Structures are given as C-alpha cells and as structure tokens.
C-alpha cells in the first residue's frame, strides 16, 4: 500500500500531464482544422483534458475498489483527455464559418 501523500502526488502529476497532453493535442488539432488558437482556447483545452481525465480516473478507482484489485489504467485516462480535446476542436470546427 502506498502512502496517501505519495498517491496524491501521483494523482496530481497525472492530471498535470493530462493537461499538457490536452494543450499539445489542442494545438495540433486546431492547426489541422485551421482554427484560431490563443491563450483562452489553450486554457479551455487544458481544462477539458483535466476534467475528462479526472472523470475516467474516478471511474477507474470506483471499479478497482469494487473488484478489490487496483489497476490505474493510465492509458485510458490519457486517451479520455485526448478524445475530449479532439471532440471540442471538432465541435469548434463544425460551428465555425471558416470551413
């Protein structure tokens, strides 16, 4: 069993890395779809990635505790962050008049 502070540090590190991944994917998807990308959109991309990864993280913890074997599933947490940011970029692209 890992100590609580270490687990909190690992969780915050995973959320921070999900935010960075969200920023990178948001920048790439905005450039590919030829959308504007400034600091406000970058902040929203980071928030969307953080919220998506936090939701998947909480779901994984609930399922792991009910099965009594803890498996973090970092791959799925980061995939949820990426999909959330890409879905937001596609919605922005669909509502823009520039395409």
> Using one digit for the tens of pLDDT, what is the confidence trace for 43-80?
999 999 999 998 988 888 788 778 777 666 788 888 99
Mean pLDDT of the chain: 86
Report the alpha-carbon distance of residue 80 to residue 73 in Å, rounded.
Answer: 11
86, 49 contact by CB (below 8 A): no
Q: What are phi and psi of 28, to 5 degrees?
A: -65, -45
Q: Exposed e or buried b for every residue in 19-43, given b needs 16+ CB within 10 A?
A: bebbbebbbebbeebebebeeebee
Side-chain-side CA neighbours of 77 within 13 Å: the count stands at 23
């Amino acid at each position: 069993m890992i100590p609580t502070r270490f687990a909190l540090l690992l969780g915050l590190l995973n959320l921070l890395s999900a935010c960075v991944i969200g920023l990178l994917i948001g920048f790439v998807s905005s450039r590919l779809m030829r959308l504007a990308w400034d600091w406000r959109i970058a902040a929203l991309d980071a928030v969307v990635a953080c919220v998506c990864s936090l939701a998947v993280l909480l779901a994984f913890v609930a399922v792991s505790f009910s099965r009594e074997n803890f498996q973090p599933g970092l791959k799925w947490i980061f995939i949820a962050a990426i999909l959330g940011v890409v879905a937001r970029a596609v919605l922005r692209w669909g509502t823009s008049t520039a395409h």
